[in-house]
Each structure stands twice: as C-alpha cells, then as structure tokens.
Structure 1
Amino acid sequence: MGISRATAMFLTPLFRFFSVLAGIAWIPIATLWFGYGFGAIIFVIFNAVFFVVAYNTLLGVSTIPHSIRNAASSLGAGRWALLFHVLLPGALPNIVMGVRTGLGFAWRGLIAAEMIATNVGLGYMLFVARDFYRTEVIVLGMVLIGIIWLMIDRLILVPLERATIERWGMVRQS
C-alpha cells in the first residue's frame, strides 16, 4: 500500500475515516449481521484494530525515503529482500504504534459490545448493575477495566514498543 503513491493516496482518506470510527459505532451493524453474541464482538474488535493498524502501516512504509529503497534495489535486493530488510523494519515502529492504539480502541469496543451484544463480561456487569442501582459494582467494574488495560499496556505493549524502537535505531538503549 505504501509503496505505490496512487494506492496510498486512494487508501489514506478511507483509512483515516474508518480509523476514527469508535468501536461502539460498529455495534448496531454487528448485531444486525451477526446477532447478539461473540460474532458481533469479534466484528467490533476487528474493525477497531484493522483500520488503525493498516493506516499506521501505510504511513510507516510511505515515510521510508525512496533513496533507501533505491539503494537496496541497486545493491541487488529483490522484492522479498526489500520487503523484509527495508520496508518492514522501516515501518515496524509505526506498525507497533498502530497495534498499541488499535488495541486501546478494541478494549473500549469490547466493553461497549459486552454491554449491548452479550450477556457476559465486564461491560455486561456494568450494564446489569445499572438496572439494580448498584453504584459500587459499576465503580468496581470501571476500576477493573482500567487496571486490566494498564496491565496489558505496561506488561505487553510498552515493552514491545520499546524493543521495536530500540531495535530499529530510533532510540539508543541506556
């Protein structure tokens, strides 16, 4: 996508448009197409993640200078070598950033989809607690949602991002 200027110019507005749609915006169509259940949740999560990762990948590849691509090609790099030794390493920090952002969107979409499209999960717990005026359960659910996301972010995503930017020379290890 990022190699072809015409493709990038065509897809960029589409990816930007779909990237800003909140996961919750997909819930009505998800329940219409997949009914209430895990199919709808998977659809919501996929849409929350895919467009953000695809857009960041497009940006990552398109920001690699043409001189680097041309240098690799003139040194004999074929299509696969160019992909695995120039494009992927050059775009990887953007891809990881897209994954991290997309997973944040997916987490919010999951909680919202649980409220509407299923009868399980933390989102559903919040939704039911509202019906019974259980403010303490709602607050507990909100705290759990925040703690679980912080654990995912700090234990998995931050180390992945740090390793990626250190590995590909964007910062130096201290």
Structure 2
Amino acid sequence: MFHKMRRKVQQLSPEETEAVLMRGTAGVLALTGDKAFPYAVPISYVYDGEHIYFHSALEGHKIDAIQRNPNASFAVIDQDEVIPEKYTTAYRSVIVFGSIRTIEDEEEKRIAVRKLALKYAPDNTEQQHNEMIDRTWERFCMLEMSIAHMTGKEGRVLTEKR
C-alpha cells in the first residue's frame, strides 16, 4: 500500500525515525482539502511513541477535512542545511501516514493535552499547566493520529558522514 523507499541506504532506522519525531517541534499535516485540493498546514505536535497528538480549534478547514476523510500524512523536517557548492542540502526528515480522530472522552483529551503542555512548557508547574488547560478547555479539541506507516530519510551528505 505504501511506496518502498527508492534509496534504501538513506533510510533511517525505526529508532532514528522515532528520535526525529520526539525532538521535532513542528511539522506539516496534509489532509484532503476542499474541491480535491490538498490542504497542508504547519502544526505543533507531540509524539508519545504510539500516536501523534495535535490540538485544534473546534471548527475550521482542518476539522472539516478530517471529518470528510480522516486519512492524513504528517511530515517533520529535522535538519535542512543548504550546501550551495554541492547544489544540495544535508537534510533529515520523517513522514508518517495514518488516520486522525477527534478525542471525545474528556479524560483522554486531558491526558493528550498534558502531553503537549509538558513538551512545549516543560519547566512549568503542574498548577500552571492545569490553569492554562482549564482556561482554554472549551475552545479547543485534541486530535490523535494513529500511525499506519512511517519512514525517515536523510540526504546523501549525512549518510556519507556515518
């Protein structure tokens, strides 16, 4: 169902792929948009080793697209250094394919949003996290991406350095 990587020597191991997802702070979520146009949106996320979580407004283009078709891809760029003299870049990236659902259960939603809070504000106290979550609770939803397939790849420049 998913394409095999053409340049296997550049493929990251599953452990390296997960490490990219763990340390990344933003990616691009690609969905089926309106009138058959793709819709790709930059978004913050958290990966917990099993799922990818995103927060969202309760309505809008992203939510409409997910309701119509929950299948998605998500790309994270870990490194992208331009090397002009070689007309290339030293890059490392990951792409994930899966399906997205809106978390409806309030306890599950709170657990997911706490994962985001801990990733993006690790030095805040439990009280600070709870205050922010409670203050915005009614205005956002949490989305969970179940992973069907993921691959990581790096450019030849990085592969040759190994």
TM over 0.5: no
Q: Which has the larger share of strand?
A: 2
Larger RCO, structures 1/2 (Cα 8 Å, 6+ apart): 2
TM-score by length of 1: 0.27
TM-score by length of 2: 0.29
